[in-house]
């Protein structure tokens, strides 16, 4: 179900012309679980957002047969909606909505014939993650509950690619470990490609491969960078 990834000569440049991210080449097979680590401010999140087509960049980021950097803005948005689920460190939930409505947000942008299935998937994901869908607003949820809603939302569209930005950063150890177990199981069992930026060694040790980013450059495997 996952997509292969091929990066060539990727560059993200800031407003002053400074290169914020540089990746000469990277190839990942479909269904890979990949961690990205490095010092704070090194460019890890920039890499993740570039992979999602959320930043202006040059070069090529090819998911399967599609180079998202070669697409126009509208086509890129459509590709991301159909193929990429994102888990944000800051949750980005609508506080006044309940868990089911937040998790099913993708249904608003899905083709009409997929909306019902997307809502059903959101509810199923919430229950799998230990949350019973209800109308209680997520403003009253704990950090762990909010992040689980975020994971359910990212999975609801049945996207082949998952991009996660520090998914356990706001959680205590027990909640973080529970989320790691669920995230790894839900992505690996369904053959999704997962790329997760994290400082959490408990998460990184569950990945197939860990990459190292420093000073805006994807340098080497993390094990070699220590």
The model's pLDDT over 4-18, given as tens digits with 9 standing for 90+, comes to: 999 999 999 999 989
- Could you report the per-residue pLDDT of 51-106, keeping only the tens digit for each? 999 999 999 999 999 999 999 999 999 899 889 988 887 777 888 888 988 888 87
Compute CA distances 169 → 92, 164, 194, 198, 199, whole Å: 14, 11, 17, 8, 8
Please report which confidence band the pLDDT of residue 174 belongs to, taking 50, 70 and 90 as the band edges: confident
What pLDDT, on a 0 to 100 scale, did the predictor assign at position 160? 93
pLDDT at residue 28 in the model: 95
Q: What is the mean pLDDT of the chain?
A: 88
Separation between Cα atoms, residue 117 and residue 111, nearest integer Å: 11
- What CATH number was assigned to the domain covering residues 5-225? 3.40.50.300
Cα 132 from chain centroid (whole Å): 23
pLDDT value, residue 222: 53
Instruction: Tell me the domain boundaries of the chain.
Output: 5-225
The predicted pLDDT at position 221 comes to: 64
Phi and psi torsions of 126, nearest 5°? -60, -45
């Amino acid at each position: 179900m996952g997509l292969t990834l091929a990066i060539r000569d990727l560059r993200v440049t800031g407003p002053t012309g400074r290169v914020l991210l540089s990746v000469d080449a990277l190839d990942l097979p479909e269904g890979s679980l990949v961690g990205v680590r490095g010092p704070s401010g090194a460019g890890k999140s920039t890499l993740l957002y570039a992979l999602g087509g959320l930043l202006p960049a040059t070069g090529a980021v090819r998911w399967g047969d599609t180079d998202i950097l070669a697409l126009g803005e509208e086509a890129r948005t459509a590709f991301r909606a159909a193929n990429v689920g994102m888990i944000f460190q800051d949750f980005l939930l609508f506080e006044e909505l309940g868990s089911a409505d937040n998790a099913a947000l993708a249904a608003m942008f899905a083709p009409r014939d997929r909306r019902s299935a997307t809502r059903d998937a959101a509810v199923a994901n919430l229950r799998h993650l230990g949350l019973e869908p209800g109308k209680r607003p997520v403003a009253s949820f704990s950090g762990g509950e909010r992040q689980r809603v975020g994971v359910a939302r990212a999975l609801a569209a049945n996207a082949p690619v998952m991009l996660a930005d520090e998914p356990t950063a706001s959680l205590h150890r027990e909640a973080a470990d529970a989320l790691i177990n669920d995230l790894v199981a839900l992505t690996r069992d369904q053959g999704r490609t997962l790329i997760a930026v994290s400082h959490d060694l408990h998460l990184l040790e569950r990945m197939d491969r860990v990459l190292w980013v420093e000073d805006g450059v994807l340098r080497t495997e993390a094990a070699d960078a220590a």
